[in-house]
Chain A
Amino acid sequence: MKKSTGNNSENLKVIKSKNHISDIFFEKTTLFFAFLIICIVFWIIYEMFIDSAPSRDAFGWGFIFSQDWEPVKEQFGALTFIYGTVVSSIIALAIALPVSLGIAIFLSELAPQIIKTTLSFLIEILAAIPSIVFGFWGIFVLAPFMRNTAQPFLESTLGFLPFFTGTKIGFGLLTSGIILAIMIIPIISAISRDVLKTIPQAQREAAYALGATRWEAIKMALLNAKSGILGATVLGLGRAVGETMAVTMVIGNRAQIKISWFEPAYSMASVIANEFAEASGKIHLSSLIEVGLVLFAVTFVINSLARFLIYSTTKKLTVK
């Protein structure tokens, strides 16, 4: 259209300007919806901020460092919940990371094609299973197993550590950590596999040509993919921190800080899930919303970090 000359230019101009208006209208319509997403996110932050105001005014920063959670006395502090969330997520990550790396290596480097597709499909499905199902399974299968088999075993072998002693109820930090690990393994392994795939095959071939063993070649690919894998891990961490139902069902829901991982605890998301609908009084409700605000802040930081790490690896490698 740029090169149009002479007689037609007038015509073209008409067509162009007609198209132009409808095109602009279309672009602006899509822009409007895109803008709506930004509005919603800011609205969420605003709403949480406003609704938690009574609690923030009453307790200030002490809210984060206080262990009291007594609706009757209207004393609220989030430390026990922060502790429960942090510890269960760390346990989950400690279990999930090595296992997911193994799966990612297996899927991207070792497995024959048929196993690759089947396993990938299975992992996809598992990533889509509702968390309520995991939690339900946790109550009736995992918790009894922990109580009768795993916890006695851990106490007899690793009992010298303070984490593995105490009453064996089956519901507690360790159980929720394991459930979370099971839930985040599909995510971490899927993304790690994708990141490993972006590492050029030529690098592995070069390693083989230098006489490297298969593991040494894979190790090199892993080193090159490390920030992407770290990103996948952090993304899994974000998921674990925000997970509500499965944790609520197995963590035991007792607001306490105990060194033992067998002990019941409480997480940020769980306390909201359990108490929100029945919250009595303005200050109780707004304290729960402040717990939500803390949870939001934590997941926001974690997810931004994860996106940055994944983006930097895949970008660097696909551009080349």
Chain B
Amino acid sequence: MEAYEILANPKNLKRRKIINIVMLTLSVVSGLVAIIPLIYILFYTTAAGISSLNLDFFTQLPKPVGEPGGGIANAIVGSVEIVGLGSAFGIPIGLMSGIYVSEFSKSFFANIVKFVTDVLSGIPSIIIGIFAYGVIVLQTKHFSALAGGFALGILMIPTVTRITEEMLKLVPISLREASLALGISRWKTTLKIVLRTASGGIITGMLLAIARAAGETAPLLFTSFGNSFWSESIDSPTASLPVQIFNYAISPYAEWHQKAWAGAFVLIALVFIISLIVRLITKNKFSQSV
């Protein structure tokens, strides 16, 4: 049968219309079905978390099982410490390589850098944990916030590199040309014109990287380990929010579960707030550049 006969045949047309409706409905339904568990997770965690959230949670040290009250202040401070260390290590590397790939990307080498950055972003975080363990914990013979920060830093690099590169590419070439035409040198143009123009988007990328790192658990399990008390220095085992949630979650005690829900809620709230900021910044960004 010729193609037009298939199309013109009223019997076929009816069948095609039915298929059309069925498939489109399926597509919408699958969208809804997928959204349900995702939204459920958000709301369940929020509901379970808020009810057990109080001031003590943020200011007190963990209490042993059976004693009421207590919080996970040390884990929150520890998380800030570890993520801070990670940022100090990962963000400069990510930023500078992002500049390299975007601004000097003519070379073959830039493509290699891109590829390797992709490889790095695909490495499971637990493997980065093993690496940090081998490089730092095994050498110093003890768990430390430093090792955790090192692992998180490596995890942050690909995100920052990628976003820096993409944001710098959004800056119009004419801006660079105008600056160069005024006799401003290349590096000043890059730093003071291009980077500044793209700064909103780049800060976004950093925030995203920080949010992701703050929720990472696997690489911290055997690098910063955990601690029921305040850690003495960055060179000692340090509690972190995700690891604390994990330890509480797999424990058999209901009151610890409550704490874990509160912790999970804090993490989700962090992600949500950062995503919202990111949204606002990028929205501004695009309305400017368009």
Chain A residues close to B by CB (< 8 Å)? 15, 19, 22-23, 25-27, 29-38, 40-41, 43-44, 47-48, 51, 98-103, 105-107, 110, 119, 121-126, 128-137, 139-141, 182, 185-186, 189, 210-211, 213-216, 218-219, 238, 241-245, 249, 269, 272-273, 276-277, 288-289, 292, 295-296, 299-300, 302-304, 307
Query: Mask for B87-128, Cβ within 8 A of A = 1, else 0?
Result: 000001101110111011000011011011111101111111
Residues of A within 8 A of B214 (CB): 130
Residues of B within 8 A of A139 (CB): 249-250
Partner of A132, one of B124, B133, B245: B245
Are the CB atoms of A132 and B123 closer together than 8 Å? Answer: no
Are the CB atoms of A122 and B28 closer together than 8 Å? Answer: no
Main SS class of interface, B? helix
Partner of A47, one of B109, B135, B267, B271: B135
CB of A69, distance to nearest CB on chain B (Å): 17
Residues of A within 8 A of B40 (CB): 141
CA distance A121 to B131 in the complex (A): 34
Are the CB atoms of B34 and A185 closer together than 8 Å? Answer: yes
**Number of A-B residue pairs having CB atoms within 8 Å of each other in the complex:** 266
Are the CB atoms of B30 and A137 closer together than 8 Å? Answer: no
CA distance A107 to B125 in the complex (A): 30
Residues of B within 8 A of A299 (CB): 122-124
- What are 26 A-to-B residue pairs whose CB atoms are below 8 Å? A30-B100, A34-B110, A35-B113, A37-B116, A40-B120, A44-B128, A51-B134, A101-B30, A102-B27, A107-B31, A122-B39, A129-B42, A129-B271, A130-B267, A132-B217, A133-B264, A136-B245, A244-B124, A244-B125, A244-B126, A249-B250, A269-B126, A269-B218, A276-B130, A295-B126, A296-B124
Query: Mask for B186-207, Cβ within 8 A of A = 1, else 0?
Result: 1100110000000000000000
CB of B47, distance to nearest CB on chain A (Å): 11
CA distance A272 to B41 in the complex (A): 26
On whether A292 and B127 interact (CB within 8 A), knowing A31-B100, A133-B45, A300-B119, the answer reads yes
Give me 18 other A-B pairs in contact (C-beta within 8 A), A99-B31, A133-B268, A245-B217 excluded.
A22-B187, A27-B104, A31-B109, A33-B97, A47-B134, A48-B131, A101-B30, A106-B31, A125-B272, A128-B275, A130-B271, A131-B218, A136-B264, A186-B38, A276-B130, A276-B221, A292-B127, A303-B119
CA distance A213 to B92 in the complex (A): 52
CB of B149, distance to nearest CB on chain A (Å): 15
Residues of A within 8 A of B42 (CB): 125-126, 129
Are the CB atoms of A34 and B185 closer together than 8 Å? Answer: no
Are the CB atoms of B30 and A48 closer together than 8 Å? Answer: no
CA distance A121 to B280 in the complex (A): 12
What interface size band does chain B fall in? Answer: 35 or more
Q: Which 7 A-B pairs have the closest CB atoms?
A: A130-B215, A242-B124, A102-B30, A303-B122, A26-B187, A33-B96, A30-B100
Partner of A30, one of B17, B96, B157, B261: B96
Partner of B17, one of A37, A106, A213: A213
CB of B202, distance to nearest CB on chain A (Å): 14
Residues of A within 8 A of B80 (CB): none
The residue in chain B whose Cβ has the minimal distance to the Cβ of A136 is B249
A-binding segment of B18-26, B60-68, B227-235: B18-26
Tell me which of A32, A110, A272 has the highest count of chain B C-beta atoms within 10 A of its own C-beta: A272
Residues of B within 8 A of A22 (CB): 185, 187
Residues of A within 8 A of B272 (CB): 125
Residues of B within 8 A of A295 (CB): 124, 126-127
Residues of B within 8 A of A106 (CB): 27-28, 30-31
Partner of A215, one of B24, B101, B250, B275: B24
CB of A215, distance to nearest CB on chain B (Å): 4
CA distance A254 to B259 in the complex (A): 27
CA distance A40 to B34 in the complex (A): 37
CB of B170, distance to nearest CB on chain A (Å): 15
The residue in chain A whose Cβ has the minimal distance to the Cβ of B33 is A99
CB of B20, distance to nearest CB on chain A (Å): 4
Are the CB atoms of A128 and B271 closer together than 8 Å? Answer: yes
On whether A303 and B118 interact (CB within 8 A), knowing A36-B93, A38-B112, A136-B249, the answer reads yes
The residue in chain B whose Cβ has the minimal distance to the Cβ of A50 is B134
CA distance A218 to B118 in the complex (A): 30
CB of A253, distance to nearest CB on chain B (Å): 10
Is there a chain A Cβ closer than 8 Å to B152's Cβ? no
Residues of B within 8 A of A141 (CB): 40, 44
CB of A182, distance to nearest CB on chain B (Å): 5
CB of B285, distance to nearest CB on chain A (Å): 16
Residues of A within 8 A of B71 (CB): none
Residues of B within 8 A of A99 (CB): 30-31, 33-34
